[in-house]
Amino acid sequence: MPDVFDKQLSPFAQALTAGGLRPFCRPMAVRNGEAMDHGVRVVMAACNDYLGLAGDPRVIEASAKALDLYGTSCSGSRLVCGTLPLHEELEGRLAEFLGCQAAIVTTTGFQANLALAPLFGRGDIVFSDMANHASLFDAIRLGWADRRVYRHSDMGHLECQLATADVGAAKVIVTDGLFSVEGDLCRLPELAVLARRHGARLVVDGAHDIGLLGARGRGVAEHFGLPDAVDLYTGTFSKCFGSIGGVVAGPADIIAYLRYTARSAIFTASMPPAAVAAALAALDIIESEPERRTRVFGLAQRLAGQLRALGFDVGEAGTPIVPVHIGEAELCARLWQEIFHEGVFTQAVMAPAVPVGQAAIRLSLQATHTDDHLSRILDAFAAAGRRLGLIPGPAAAPTPRRPRVTGVSVR
């Protein structure tokens, strides 16, 4: 008799998730570019708080005030008792910031993307970059439209798919603005041309670029000087905004439609007051402190250059996401462990987050990282990479600041 519980993780995944030295779901206290792991302080190089606002005293104070005023939760959906004046203030501010008519905030960025589903109707066609975030793929699955996946940033492939699609179908291209693993930007100028040529709408998930890119932090469209190229934005507050929550911004009639039809916005409790207030305070800082963007880009480019000089393949993206390409998942896990032994927490990215054979160590830099953090990250990669024979140079003995960890190793 088949049983829906007859499922289990692969032996490799079990080893990775069960051990004391596991890269995933590790309990740690994270703050300002560092983390406490089992009593040992490590450099945090995997957190998407790019501007370092999650620990900013102004953001914390605003959040604490809202907590005091409104309590911990609205305990209801936006439609019922979950809309505070704060939610509407944040929506108004974000719409203005992104140059859109209106915005709706959701409880997470994932839900902001799922909120796109009602736009993907029967007979419509959604063209999606292969490297888009899982939540965009899930939004397409929740809708009724046909899905066409084009190779990552391959404009020729996209054009071919657009050209051969039913001319009578409503079309939409969905793309991450700044891709979350490779750290590269979408090719917005070409996407905009293709969208206009084929009568397609263009939706950009600005999860990683809103707050980070462009002189005023308004994202990829500002970066490329194309304020009118994007028809609809989605975004998150869990990265540059040091909070949690999501947003969809665009034409007023479409936002009004989504407000009453998007299941991920209706059938769920609204963004908690403290998170809304934190996002509002973060937006003030995003607008007034461009030096944070300059700092984090400078750090990332310096680190990428130094890692490249050591012999690592870090790509050419030049953004605060620095991927260190490894390939095989087991090797990636071993490198992750060695780097962690050296006192640096990184993100191991493996299938299904990336295609099999394209595992990588993903680094994300923060404006609050110090120069000392940067050299500790570099030293950790040098020591670990040499020990595993990934880069040239004499293998040094492990440093004495190894985090104290117990349990099963993935080796």
Ligand X SMILES: Cc1ncc(COP(=O)(O)O)c(C=O)c1O
Q: Which residues of 251-288 are buried (b: 16+ CB within 10 A; e: fewer)?
A: eeebbeebbeebebbbebebbbbbbbbbbbbbbebbee
Contact criterion met (CB below 8 Å) for 283 and 94? yes
301: exposed, middle or buried (Cβ count in 10 Å: 0-12, 13-18, 19+):
middle
Q: What is the C-alpha separation between 50 and 242, in angstroms, rounded?
A: 9
Cβ distance to ligand X smaller for residue 56 or 176: 176
Considering only 113, 153, 268, 364, the residue that binds ligand X (CB under 6 A) is 113
Contact criterion met (CB below 8 Å) for 245 and 103? no
Which token pair is 101? 């008519």
Check binding of 176 to ligand X (CB under 6 A): yes
Cβ distance to ligand X smaller for residue 245 or 385: 245
Check binding of 184 to ligand X (CB under 6 A): no
* Span interacting with ligand X, options 62-70, 108-116, 277-285, 365-373, rule CB under 6 A: 108-116
Check binding of 207 to ligand X (CB under 6 A): yes
Cβ distance to ligand X smaller for residue 147 or 198: 147
Considering only 128, 175, 238, 364, the residue that binds ligand X (CB under 6 A) is 238
Check binding of 34 to ligand X (CB under 6 A): no
Question: What's the one-letter identity of residue 386?
Answer: R
Check binding of 106 to ligand X (CB under 6 A): no
Q: How far is the CB of 350 from ligand X (least distance, A)?
A: 15
Cβ distance to ligand X smaller for residue 34 or 176: 176
Q: What is the C-alpha separation between 179 and 132, in angstroms, rounded?
A: 7
Q: Return the beta strands (E) in 294-357 as ranges.
A: 321-327, 344-345, 347-349
Q: 49: closest CA among 307, 244, 337, 324?
A: 244
Which token pair is 81? 């008792």
Q: How far is the CB of 25 from ligand X (least distance, A)?
A: 15
Q: How far is the CB of 236 from ligand X (least distance, A)?
A: 3
Q: How far is the CB of 232 from ligand X (least distance, A)?
A: 14
Concerning whether 239 is annotated as a catalytic residue, the answer is: yes
Q: What is the C-alpha separation between 398 and 64, in angstroms, rounded?
A: 42
**Which of 63, 153, 180, 364 is the catalytic position?**
180
Check binding of 362 to ligand X (CB under 6 A): no
* Span interacting with ligand X, options 157-165, 204-212, 291-299, 382-390, rule CB under 6 A: 204-212
Binding mask 371-390 for ligand X (x = CB under 6 A): --------------------
**Which of 133, 171, 223, 239 is the catalytic position?**
239
Contact criterion met (CB below 8 Å) for 317 and 152? no
Closest residue by beta carbon to ligand X:
109
Concerning whether 7 is annotated as a catalytic residue, the answer is: no
Concerning whether 208 is annotated as a catalytic residue, the answer is: yes
Q: What is the C-alpha separation between 167 and 148, in angstroms, rounded?
A: 15
**What SS3 state is found at 102?**
strand
Concatenating the DSSP letter of every residue in 165-220 gives S-TTS-EEEEEESB-TTT-PBP-HHHHHHHHHHTTEEEEEE-TTTTTTSSTTS--H
**Which of 133, 171, 208, 373 is the catalytic position?**
208
Check binding of 205 to ligand X (CB under 6 A): yes
Q: How far is the CB of 185 from ligand X (least distance, A)?
A: 12
Number of residues that bind ligand X (CB under 6 A): 14
What amino acid positions are annotated as catalytic residues?
180, 208, 239
Binding footprint of ligand X on the chain (CB under 6 A): 108-110, 113, 133, 135, 176, 180, 205, 207-208, 236, 238, 246
